[in-house]
Structure 1
Amino acid sequence: MPLFSLDGLTPTVHPDAFVAPTATLVGDVRVEAGASVWYNAVLRADLGTIFVRAGANVQDGSVLHGGDDPFTEVGEGATIGHLCVVHGCVIGARAVVGNGATIQDGARIGEGAMVAAGSLVAPNVEIAADRLVLGPAAKEKGPLTESAAWWVRNNPGFYQELARRHAAGVTPAD
């Protein structure tokens, strides 16, 4: 399995966890006992720690990445379905994120909740425990907000610097 250290931080995988040989873990990723990370999943912890708690699973092709929060967490026994994007958020214990769903920065998915396949959970939205949410959220809202305009202006430079950081400092982990 490709494990890469970055900025002196190396992924840790419990001996009782399964990480598929084509999954990629970068930086401060922590996979606990009984958890699984499946084929072609990418967990990139260059902006904060990623926790995959005991018994949780991250299925094929999903991408987990940090955000504004200090960590991204997949709770104990939670499921991240195939081809999901989980970005800078917290998924509660036993929650299910259906195939192709996107969970944005600062969102909190409660214990035992289900985000249906293909759904989008917007930034900072909180879903209570044991609730079902579904559907797309994208609608035109008018001109860019100040925050959105900042991202449009600054994201290219941010990723150029991040790429330099990776090019200079990512190394295969033992």
Structure 2
Amino acid sequence: MTCYSLDGLTPVVDPTAYVHPSAVLIGDVIIGAYCYVGPLASLRGDFGRIVLEEGANVQDTCVMHGFPDSDTVVERNGHVGHGAVLHGCRVGADALIGMNAVVMDNAHIAARSFVSAGALVKAGFSCPEQSLVLGSPAQVKRRLSDEEVAWKHAGTREYQVLAQRCMASLQECTPLSMVEADRPRIHDSGLRPKLAGSA
């Protein structure tokens, strides 16, 4: 990872967390146990504090930032999809932020809630626990089922396992010039159940 201290504050990464070498951590960043930070993620603690609590993941090209004296927090087992932007907000425990969603200042996504891909969550927004949040500007659509929350929890567990896999075996390499015969496939852990009605 690319890591910078600023004004005497150095990022903190728990030894059990995985941060991709291309991710950037600046200043007041705290990454808890069993977290995963994906390629090209930018966690800028140059104004406010950035916190990932235990088991959270922030995927490729995500941005976390805030205004001075703010906290941008992903609580325990929070799940932030590719390309999302979190600015001075709080993502509750076991919540999911969809790909390319934007969550603005002082918004609070409650525990076990989902924000849809591409949503724009305006500053100051809040929702009840276990909400499905859709649109631009985002609104609460309905309450999530326990089955949907369990599906998300299993997906987050896959990222916790991925953090362990990356620490154990990810290494920079030179690409092959052709596909080898009988090339094996990478399989998930089998932890994630299919959601009813999905392919």
TM-score by length of 1: 0.77
- Deviation for aligned residue 1:134: 0.6
Quick one: percent identity of the two aligned structures? 45
User: How many corresponding residue pairs?
Assistant: 138
- Deviation for aligned residue 1:70: 2.5
Partner of 2:86: 86
Work out the CA distance in 2 between the residues paired with 1:28 and 1:73. 12
Residue deviations 1:108-139 (CA, integer Å, cap 9, x gap): 0000000000001000010211000111129x
Residue deviations 1:79-99 (CA, integer Å, cap 9, x gap): 010000100000000000000
- Correspondence 1:10-159 to 2 at 5 A: 10-67=10-67, 70-137=70-137
SS at match of 2:7: coil
Work out the CA distance in 1 between the residues paired with 2:81 and 2:63. 11
Contact 1:102-1:119 within 8 A present in 2 as well = yes
| RMSD value, Cα | 1.2
Unaligned runs of at least 5 residues, structure 2: 139-199
Partner of 2:162: none
**Runs of 4+ that moved beyond 2 A:** 67-70
Which deviates more from structure 2 when the two are superposed, residues 16-25 or residues 63-72?
63-72
Work out the CA distance in 2 between the residues paired with 1:66 and 1:9. 16
SS at match of 1:126: coil
Work out the CA distance in 1 between the residues paired with 2:67 and 2:77. 22
- Deviation for aligned residue 1:25: 0.4
Of structures 1 and 2, the one with the larger relative CO (CA 8 A, separation 6+) is: 1
- Deviation for aligned residue 1:67: 2.4
SS at match of 1:134: strand
Contact 2:49-2:69 within 8 A present in 1 as well = no
Unaligned runs of at least 5 residues, structure 1: 139-174
Work out the CA distance in 1 between the residues paired with 2:23 and 2:125. 29
Contact 1:119-1:134 within 8 A present in 2 as well = yes
